[in-house]
Amino acid sequence: MDAHIHYVCTGGCEGESSVPGICDSESCSKHAEQLTLCECEDGLHKKVIEESIIDDDDLVDYDDEETYDA
C-alpha cells in the first residue's frame, strides 16, 4: 500500500482530512489549530502523533511546581 497524503489532528479527537485545514472539534485540545501533514500507510498516524507528544512535552514549564513533581 502506498502512503497517501492526509492531514490529522494530534489533539486527541482523531480528526482527519484529505485537505489542509484546522481542527473543528470544539472539545479537542487543539481546536482551531492547524492539522498536521501525515503520509502513513496504515491509517494509525503513529509517527505524527509521537512527534506531537514530544513537541507538547517541550512546552511544559518545569519551573512551575504545580505542573512538575520531582
| Per-residue pLDDT reduced to its tens digit, 2-15 | 568 999 999 989 89
Tell me the pLDDT band of 60, cut-offs 50, 70 and 90. low
Query: Which residues does 53 contact at the CB level (< 8 Å), separation at least 6?
Result: none
Phi, psi dihedrals of residue 52, rounded to the nearest 5°: -65, -40
Q: What percent of the chain has pLDDT over 90?
A: 46
Residue 62 has pLDDT above 70, yes or no: no
Residue 55, SS3 per DSSP: helix
Which pTM does this prediction carry?
A: 0.68
